[in-house]
Each structure stands twice: as C-alpha cells, then as structure tokens.
Amino acid sequence: MIATTTARTPLRILAGLAVTGILGPWQVIAADEPCVTDDADREVCLDAPAERIVSLSPGATELLFAAGAGDAVVGAVSYSDYPPEAEEVPRVGSYKRLDMETLLAREPDLIVGWITGNPSEQLERLQELGVPLYLSEPRELDDIASTLERLGVLTGTAGHAADEATAFRDAIDGIRDEYADAEPVRVFYQVWDDPLMTVNDAHLISQAAALCGGDNVFGELGSLTPRIDTESVLDRDPEAIVAGGMGEADETWLEPWRGYDSLTATRRDNLFFVPPSSIQRPTPRVAEGSRILCEQLERARERR
C-alpha cells in the first residue's frame, strides 16, 4: 500500500535496541539521533528529537500527548479533541483530506500519519517532499504501548513515554488477571447503527472484550468492521449487546434492541453502553474502556 521500507539513513542498531528498552546507558546516544521502526515496517530516523509535530489522526494526537510530546504538536486534523489541550492545536484539514499547504506551513519536523485513514496519495506526496513521516496503525492492545514508546523516542520524551506504556500494560494485565477464570460471555458490539455495523476479532474492541471472557459473536467475519443485518444478530442471539453512540453519553442505539424479546441480551437487560472514544480509538484510554466493558460483561454473568 504505502512504500514499505525507506531507510532514510543507515540502520542504527543502538537506537533500535534502545527502542526495545534493553539498553540503559546507550539510550543517551540514541536520543540524539532517534530511530524507530513504524507500523509500516519503515525505519524512521530523525537528526534530533522532533520539536514540531503534525498529527494526522485524532488517535495519534492523543498518543503524542500521552507520550509527553503534547507541547511539540503544532498541527492536528479535525476531531483531535482529547486531551482538551489538543483542541487548541491548529488544524491541517481532516484525516480524509489533508490541507497540504497548511500542513507544510506548520514547518513540521515529524509527521505522524495513519496508514488506513489518510489518503495514500497524500502520504506518498509527503514522503516525496522529504518530511520525516511515522506511519501509525495500532492493531493490537500492545501496539498502543509500543507506539507510546516509539513516539517517546522520536520526541525526546522516552522516559515519560515508557512510564505511560508500562502503566497501560499493567492496567491491561490487571484486567486479564482479574478475569482469568471468567466464563465466556457471547457479546455483540455495535459500532454503528445505520448501517448496522460491528467488529471482527482482529479489532481492538474485540481484543478488549477477550481480556475478560467476551466472545464476539461476529468475530470470525472477514472484514474489520462488517456491515450486518438485524436478522443475523437475532440468529446469533448474543448474551450481551454493547453499543457506542453518536456522543459520549448517547444510549439511543440500544433502544431498538429492547423490542426483541427473543434476544437473551434483551430478556436479561444486558444492553450496555460504553463511551465510544474510550474504546474505539487506539489510545491509552482503551485501558479505561476495557475496564468498563469488562465490568458490564461481569454484570451479564451475574444475571444468568
């Protein structure tokens, strides 16, 4: 899809090791000319820690702030709304269509792109123009932690970012341990209502549910966010239905399900709401979203 390997400078093994967190004293050397491997398996090397960063997805903005590089973010795409400071960052278009002029006028020394969200032709153009580009696509829970670490290396905040990554991993491990013996709960996660959409097992949401025995009834479908019909939900008869919504407290998507008494989830009142931005964006807030989700699945178990 996007150019796979562009080694900007010769491989720096020391820096590579620093990323994996093995090295102690040499990390200082690495921080001067930071190098990491991004999610497209490209080597991204900077001459110095980035001081002017443009983020091309709301999730990446959040990750940069979490990694301690919030002050260095000089441009972001629309909907970059968390943390609240991110709303003050100048906009450079929407993730679907970037305003290349405004973006370049921010004179970035690092751009954090989004592989499946940004138009590939615009990402290619940015590469041609020679601005260092880190391509991000967190697909697994641990990718969130490793993205924090890698962004920390690139922005000279490796220490803070490593702490945040550790905190995230600990939170996830804590949930996993807590629910290690939990009985499986058949769950349907509704990501959109019209058209009706869910997620498959490759999606972060499904992985979060799996931490605590959540068994995604549509997990085996081929597409990451499959469009489905009401019938197939009735057919698979989930024990719990979890929905996001248009806002952070908008539970209207659950209403239609109350009319289907044949659904186990409806009969047991296992219709749950999770604030969408806490679980649909690949950011450290997923730890909090996972905890909410797991508590709800636990309630579903109690109602058996």
Partner 1 sequence: MSAADGGVSPTAAPSAGIGVGRLIPPLLVLLVIALASVLIAVAIGSVHIPPAELWAVFTGDGSPLHRTLVLELRAPRALAAFAVGGLLAVAGALMQVLLRNPLADPYVLGLSGGAAVGALASMLLGMGAAVVSGSAFIGALLSTVLVFGLAHGTGSWTPTRLLLTGVVVAAGWGAVITFMLAVGPTEQLPGMLYWLMGDLTYARTPWVAFAVLLGTCLLVLPLGRSLNVLARGPLQAAALGVPVRALEWSIYIGASLITAVAVTTAGSIGFVGLVVPHMLRLVLGNDQRLILPAAALAGGALLALADTLARTMIAPEQLPVGVITALLGVPTFLYLLYRSR
Residue ranges in contact with partner 1 by CB under 8 A: 1-3, 78, 91-94, 96-105, 107, 116-117, 119-122, 124, 129, 197, 223-225, 227
Query: What is the number of other CB atoms lying within 10 angstroms of the CB of residue 48?
Result: 11
225 versus 264: smaller Cβ distance to partner 1: 225
d(CA 7, CA 248): 41
User: Residue 53, Cα to own-chain centre: how many angstroms?
Assistant: 18
Write down the least CB distance from residue 274 to partner 1, Å.
Answer: 19
3 versus 292: smaller Cβ distance to partner 1: 3
Write down the least CB distance from residue 267 to partner 1, Å.
Answer: 31
Write down the least CB distance from residue 202 to partner 1, Å.
Answer: 11
Residue 228 is which amino acid?
A: I
d(CA 60, CA 80): 9
Write down the least CB distance from residue 195 to partner 1, Å.
Answer: 9
d(CA 254, CA 265): 11
Q: What phi and psi values does residue 55 have, to the nearest 5 degrees?
A: -105, 130
Closest by CA to 251, choosing from 239, 269, 268, is: 269
9 versus 223: smaller Cβ distance to partner 1: 223
14 versus 202: smaller Cβ distance to partner 1: 202
Query: What is the number of other CB atoms lying within 10 angstroms of the CB of residue 286?
Result: 25
92 versus 151: smaller Cβ distance to partner 1: 92
Write down the least CB distance from residue 203 to partner 1, Å.
Answer: 11
Query: What is the number of other CB atoms lying within 10 angstroms of the CB of residue 112?
Result: 30
